Structure 1
Amino acid sequence: MSQEVKSLSQNHEYLPFVRTSISEQTIADVVECLRSGWIATGPKVQLLEQSLQDYLKAPHAQLVTSATAGLHLALLALDVGPGDEVITTPMTFVATLNVIALCGAKPVLIDVEPGTYNIDVKQIEAKITSQTKVIMPVHFAGLPVDLDPLYALAKKYNLRVIEDAAHAIGSEYKGKKIGSFGDIQVFSFHPAKNMTTGEGGCITSHDNTFADKIGRMRFHGIDRDAWNRYSKGGSQHFDVVLPGYKCNMSDLQASIGLDQLAQLDAGNQKRQTLVNRYYEQFQGWEEIILPQKPAYEHFNSWHIFAPLINTAKCGLSRDEFMAKMKEHNIGTGLHYPAVHSFSYYQEAYGYKIGDFPAAEHIGNHVTSLPLFPSMTQQDQNRVITAMQYIFNKR
């Protein structure tokens, strides 16, 4: 490292690739909840669910402990099990496939579009069999999958759709928010996401019977909410209508989420501004390949900004680039290795390297640059300047 670069890195604190924004209002709401004497599932959860229904224009919004739990419950509520197949993508966090495996079903993978990293909808129909029960697309980085042709296939073959919308709270497809239409969507409120509840997730749906089942499955199969049983007007008697799980969100978490939801649109607009500047600043750079924007109308919530490192042009591997960014006191992320490259999915389902070349190329070259609502232009300048040094553009 040159003395100039070393001096630059020493003069700045470490800049992470993501930083959660927690406002004073959020802190006050949590304190209020703690002082209320009710921190388990209760009125705050109900209020956040109603607020999400209003924001997403979804008839049902049901909070759970994580998006992973939400995906798992959704599959189980659709009776997905051994002998069934679920079509999904290898370019996702491993939780998407793990829940399919945990149900005893087979994840059937479709390669992705090289530019958007989203499932290639044009390849889906060829993989549909008599065992196919669900299509599970992933809105990668917040970019909506092309849903019209996907839902047309689902209708043609009488399949259910569970949209993995972990990245996509606030995203829109053809003027409609993800969650406001379609079948089932599952959002994540992990601390790294565009809004958080500490940990948590939400299932939105448009099927009363499905939502009814989720309501029981997320809390032991009990036929009524816990807070109704313990409130003054509630009854201690209840029935268990199915063997359920323990995936209910707490009021303490919902207290964080209420203010986070109120700040979501402003945060997503700030992300869009930062991403636009990345595109402007990197215009003409051969060392990186920027994500492509599809032709259909959409709004991307930009959970992450994840270009590819063009190793042939810059002479560095993705991992070497990430290490050099760390030398500049700047963090990056790796989202994601292609899931079929993991040993379990090769051993359990026979997947191998070479099966999904577009996903593999992305997984070997992708890196997430710093992006979060409280990121300043000075922070972003640091990122761009560091990359200029790394790629010998200064």
Structure 2
Amino acid sequence: MSATIPYGRQSIDESDIAAVVRVLSSDWLTQGPAVPAFENALAARAQAACAVAVCNATSALHIACLAAGLGPGDTLWTTPNTFVASANCARYCGADVDFVDIDPDTFCVDAVALERKLIEAQHTGTLPKVVIPVAFAGRSADMRAIWRLADRFGFVVIEDASHAVGATYAGRPVGCGDYAHMTVFSFHPVKIVTTGEGGAVLTNDPRYDERLRSLRSHGITRDASKMEGDDEGPWFYEMQELGFNYRMTDLQAALGLSQLARLDAFLARRRALAARYARLLDGLPVSLPRYDALDDSAWHLYVVRLKHGATGLTHRETFEALRQAGIGVNLHYIPVHLQPYYRRLGFAPGQYPEAEQYYRDAISLPMYAGLSDEDQEIVARTLKAVLA
């Protein structure tokens, strides 16, 4: 049976459609007025100085790493419990990758393990240039502790907050830059708000902002004050570095701007669903997410962990039984270091035991703003029946 209740999906209404139609009827389809309008609204929401919109979050991670100066001979550290893009961005820059295991309570990078690894790396002269903590499922890692470590050990913090648009940390919006040099958001259809595909880098540093804008558009400038040679006329531009075509279109930006207007409603619904799941799943042989961050997390994902031995089913059997019953569960994530590409770089099973154990236990249940109470109750009843 195919899944009838997906694990995630976009929430599109008539205002979103009208916003895109207005762009289709305008003179601009690519980078016109909607892109800076979206950037300004995003920066204002996150209380950041600058937001640079790009075509997806992978490109955002890539140019953030380049803006941080990451290159051959450098190393980036991130968590193994993430989508591969959080590590791949280093490889695009010619840099090496290493990982830090997760906190078993939050599923984010463990700041204590990070400190321990940094001390060892300092002794061997192998400190990272960049560290990318991931705001897993909508909740930030221990960013204050990581920020203190960045000051002590001299690395750049790029928070991969792809799951956390609208979330808060320490009473402030994720993306404000209190505890990260740059923050990356994703606007993929299953994220909190969508632009179809899309991403952004937020920063308070004007030097990063200038470099990010150059890198997203071929390394080209039309600003005469920044040109290395003479301005030869109104048509003139200079390519000053090897950049990319990572631009967001006005179509995407218009959709994102419309979606941002409903961000508070999306967050309120996700938080209500998370609270309902806690009640509906109470007493089942699963570990539920921690709720000390109920009002801080954006609740992009709702992940439960099976208690092995409490039922007669394996992790895979439970997952497949739910899919067969029409519940579109998923698994976030396969530890990055276990992917064939990274195994060929020397990584192996057993290196990050908390992330690997998490992978053996975890199931992502349906979680999206459009999930009805009735469908959520079907998910809970089905999970209860399968586990029984």
The one-letter code of the counterpart of 2:151 is K
1:174 aligns with 2:170: yes
1:264 aligns with 2:260: no
Partner of 2:228: none
Q: In structure 2, what is the Cα distance between the partners aligned to 1:297 and 1:317?
A: 30
Task: Report if the CA contact (8 A) 1:139-1:163 is conserved.
Answer: yes
Partner of 2:227: none
Partner of 1:333: 330
1:93 aligns with 2:90: no
1:292 to 290, 293, 296: 290
Task: Report if the CA contact (8 A) 1:174-1:297 is conserved.
Answer: no
1:384 aligns with 2:380: yes
The one-letter code of the counterpart of 2:134 is V
Q: In structure 2, what is the Cα distance between the partners aligned to 1:323 and 1:352?
A: 27
The DSSP-based 3-state class of the residue aligned with 1:307 is strand
Partner of 1:230: none
* Per-residue deviation, residues 309-356 of structure 1 (Å, max 9, x unmatched): 2232122222211211122211111111111111111111x1111111
Q: In structure 1, what is the Cα distance between the partners aligned to 2:381 and 2:189?
A: 28
The DSSP-based 3-state class of the residue aligned with 1:196 is coil
Partner of 1:211: 209
Q: How does 1:122-141 map onto structure 2 within 5 Å? A: 122-128=112-118, 129=121, 130-131=125-126, 132-141=128-137
Partner of 1:223: 221
1:157 aligns with 2:153: yes
1:358 to 336, 354, 358: 354
Q: In structure 2, what is the Cα distance between the partners aligned to 1:196 and 1:177?
A: 18
Number of paired residues? Answer: 371
Task: Report if the CA contact (8 A) 1:100-1:107 is conserved.
Answer: yes
Partner of 1:4: none
Partner of 1:347: 344
The DSSP-based 3-state class of the residue aligned with 1:313 is coil
Q: In structure 1, what is the Cα distance between the partners aligned to 2:222 and 2:202?
A: 19
Task: Report if the CA contact (8 A) 2:280-2:377 is conserved.
Answer: no
Q: In structure 2, what is the Cα distance between the partners aligned to 1:301 and 1:236?
A: 45
The DSSP-based 3-state class of the residue aligned with 1:308 is strand
Partner of 2:192: 194
Task: Report if the CA contact (8 A) 1:219-1:244 is conserved.
Answer: yes
1:144 aligns with 2:140: yes
Task: Report if the CA contact (8 A) 2:78-2:98 is conserved.
Answer: yes
RMSD between aligned residues: 1.8
Partner of 1:371: 367
The DSSP-based 3-state class of the residue aligned with 1:216 is helix
The one-letter code of the counterpart of 1:343 is P
Partner of 1:228: none
* Per-residue deviation, residues 109-157 of structure 1 (Å, max 9, x unmatched): 1110112100000111232333421111001001111111110010111
The DSSP-based 3-state class of the residue aligned with 1:39 is coil
Q: How far is the alpha carbon of 1:22 from its aligned partner? A: 0.5
Q: How far is the alpha carbon of 1:224 from its aligned partner? A: 4.0
TM-aligned CA distance change 1:203 to 1:224, over 3 Å: farther
The DSSP-based 3-state class of the residue aligned with 1:17 is coil
The DSSP-based 3-state class of the residue aligned with 1:83 is coil
The DSSP-based 3-state class of the residue aligned with 1:374 is coil
Q: In structure 2, what is the Cα distance between the partners aligned to 1:35 and 1:253?
A: 14
**Unmatched tracts of structure 2, length 5 or more:** 224-232
Q: How far is the alpha carbon of 1:100 from its aligned partner? A: 1.2
Partner of 1:6: none
1:105 to 81, 88, 95: 95
The one-letter code of the counterpart of 2:379 is V
Partner of 1:315: 312
Task: Report if the CA contact (8 A) 1:173-1:297 is conserved.
Answer: no
Q: Which stretch of structure 1 is more off in the superposition, 309-318 or 44-53?
A: 309-318
* Per-residue deviation, residues 232-288 of structure 1 (Å, max 9, x unmatched): xx94222222111110100011111011111111101100000111111222222x1
Q: In structure 1, what is the Cα distance between the partners aligned to 2:222 and 2:38?
A: 18
Q: In structure 2, what is the Cα distance between the partners aligned to 1:298 and 1:354?
A: 35
The one-letter code of the counterpart of 1:260 is Q
Moved over 6 A (4+): none
1:30 aligns with 2:20: yes
Partner of 1:70: 60
Partner of 2:230: none
Partner of 1:324: 321
Q: How far is the alpha carbon of 1:80 from its aligned partner? A: 0.7
**Unmatched tracts of structure 1, length 5 or more:** 1-8, 226-233
The DSSP-based 3-state class of the residue aligned with 2:66 is helix
Q: In structure 2, what is the Cα distance between the partners aligned to 1:238 and 1:82?
A: 29
